[in-house]
Amino acid sequence: MARSGNLIHVAATAAFIVGGIAFALDPQSEAQLAALNGHGGVMLTLDPRAILPLDEPNLTYLFLNPANPVMWALLVALWILLALDAAGQWLDPSDAGLRQWLHGPSAGQPAWPPLAMALALTAIWPWFLAPAPWIAAAGATAAAGAAFVAALRGSGQRRPTIGFFAGWSLAVAAAANAIPLARAIGLPMTQVAILTMLPTAILGVAAQLRIGREIGFSIAVIWAFCGVAATTMGVDPVIALAAILGIAAMAGVLVSVAT
C-alpha cells in the first residue's frame, strides 16, 4: 500500500484508539446517558458503572465503557489488533495505495478507504450518545457498513483484524440503535434489545457467509454476545437468552465456514 493511503489508515486507527480510550475512561459518559433517558432516580449497585435501572440495561456502554472483564478484554484486543494491522500494512503492505486506487482499476478494490472511514466515524459517534442518540445510531450504522465493505475487500489479504473489527462494529451498531428506538416506539429497553439482538445474529450469519473463510467477524460477534450474556444474566435473563441464541447461530456459521 502506498504511503499516502497508509498514512490515512494509520491516522484513522490512532483516532479510533485514542477516542476509544478517552470514552472508556470518561466518568461522565454514563451519567450523561442517565440524564438523557430522564431517570430522576437511578439505581446504584456495588458496581459504580451500573447506574441505570436494572430493567433498562444500556447495551452500548457494555462495548464502549465496559463494566466487566469480558468486554474490557474485547475492547483492548480490538485496539491491539488494529494497531498491529496498521503497523503491518506500513511494514509489509498488501493493500492498494491511494494513487493506484484513483487512477488504476488493476489495483483492485483496496480495503483501507472503507476501513479508515469506519475507524474515523467510530472515533466520533459515541460522543453523541447522550446529546443526540439518533446521530450516534446513524454514525454507528454507517461505520458498521463501511467496516463490512472493508472486510469483504480485505478477505483475500489474510487480515483477520478487519473482519474482527467489522463484527464488533455490527454488535455496537445494534446496541446504539436500541436506545433511540426504545424511546421512539415506547417499548422497554429489554424488548428492544431482544428485537435488535436477534436480527444482529441473522445479519452476522449472512455477513460471515459473504466474507468467507476469514472467521474474525464471527469471533468478534460471539465474543460480544458472550459479554452481553455475562453482564445481563443476573439483571435480565431474557436478554441473556437472546445473546445465547445469537452465540449459537454465529457458532454454527463459524464451524461451517471454517470447515
Question: Domain ranges in the chain?
Answer: 3-258
pTM of the model: 0.83
DSSP tag of 111: S
Hey, what's the cell of 16?
479510533
Neighbours of 18 (CB within 10 A): 12
pLDDT at 42 over 60: no
Task: Tell me the C-alpha distance between 8 and 5, whole Å.
Answer: 5
Confidence of residue 58 (pLDDT cuts 50, 70, 90): low
**Per-residue model confidence (pLDDT) at position 36:** 41
Give 128-153 pLDDT, tens digit per residue: 988 888 999 999 999 999 999 999 88
